């Protein structure tokens, strides 16, 4: 598909699957709509899906299972005629010290944050490799490299995600499929808002960011669009930190 003169990114008419109808996922879905892409959003929550823009196709699915991921990809191919772009924006956290962390919470966070990325990336990868073209963008975190206290499973899942991205990128590069990640810093979303609203917490995190503010979901969408575009054809296996300088200090 060739972009129009005004479609510098080449995303008009692209067929996009966004995993996760939370703050980041929804912002990405809307950004793709604005550049003319066709968008499907998958999420476990029917309530979140019901809040989506009516131009977005919502699909309820459990992305922690192989069957759920394969079913979503099949639905996108059936509804849109193919799959060009996958954005994985699924994530949960549970802030407790390692000694207070139980096995169930550890496994649940790894299943949601990391295993869903593996299963969905694999299912989408098959389609993209057969087509000879594809873009996959995963949402990592500064926690993938910073040793935040009370973040053990979250940090482990995001660190693992970074390496998963690199390996998939290495294996699929010759097939025209790129795989990259963004790593947001302290960003205000539904996932983080309750924590940030605790007394003094928002000011504490702002002090750690050289830019002097928290990130917003709109700070992330431009980078996602670029990595999903034809302009990023030679960019693969990269983790782009979008953190206002947090990882510099």
DSSP bridge pairs for 239? 181
| Tokens representing residue 83 in the block | 């799959």
Q: Tell me the β-bridge partners of 134.
A: 177
Choosing from 133, 154, 186, 205, the catalytic residue is: 154
Q: Torsions phi, psi of 94, nearest 5?
A: -145, 105
Going 225 to 165 to 104 to 43, the CA torsion angle's sign is positive
In order of 147, 149, 208, 223, the CA distances from 200 in angstroms are 21, 17, 13, 30
Pairing mode of beta strands 134-139, 177-184: parallel
Residue 203: Cβ within 10 Å count? 9
Contacts of 182 (CB under 8 A, 6+ apart): 137, 138, 139, 140, 220, 223, 224, 227, 239, 240, 241, 242
- 46: tokens are 């029917």
The question of whether 154 is a catalytic residue gets the answer yes
Catalytic positions are 154
């Amino acid at each position: 598909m060739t972009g129009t003169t005004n479609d510098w990114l080449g995303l008009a008419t692209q067929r996009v699957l966004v995993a996760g109808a939370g703050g980041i996922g929804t912002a990405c879905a809307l950004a793709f709509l604005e550049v003319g892409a066709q968008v499907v959003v998958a999420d476990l929550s029917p309530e979140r899906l019901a809040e989506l823009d009516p131009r977005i196709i919502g699909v309820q699915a459990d992305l922690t299972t192989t069957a759920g991921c394969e079913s979503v990809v099949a639905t996108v191919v059936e509804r849109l005629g193919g799959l060009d772009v996958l954005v994985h924006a699924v994530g949960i956290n549970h802030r407790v010290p390692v000694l207070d962390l139980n096995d169930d919470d550890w496994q649940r966070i790894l299943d949601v944050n990391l295993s869903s990325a593996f299963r969905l990336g694999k299912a989408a990868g098959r389609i993209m490799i057969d087509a000879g073209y594809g873009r996959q963008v995963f949402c990592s975190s500064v926690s993938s490299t910073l040793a935040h206290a009370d973040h053990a499973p979250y940090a482990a899942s995001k660190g693992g995600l970074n390496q998963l991205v690199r390996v998939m990128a290495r294996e699929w590069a010759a097939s025209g499929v790129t795989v990259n990640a963004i790593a947001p810093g302290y960003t205000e979303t539904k996932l983080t808002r309750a924590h940030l609203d605790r007394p003094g917490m928002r000011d504490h995190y702002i002090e750690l960011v050289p830019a002097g503010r928290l990130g917003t979901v709109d700070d992330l969408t431009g980078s996602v669009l670029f990595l999903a575009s034809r302009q990023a054809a030679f960019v693969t296996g990269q983790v782009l930190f979008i953190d206002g300088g947090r990882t510099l200090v």
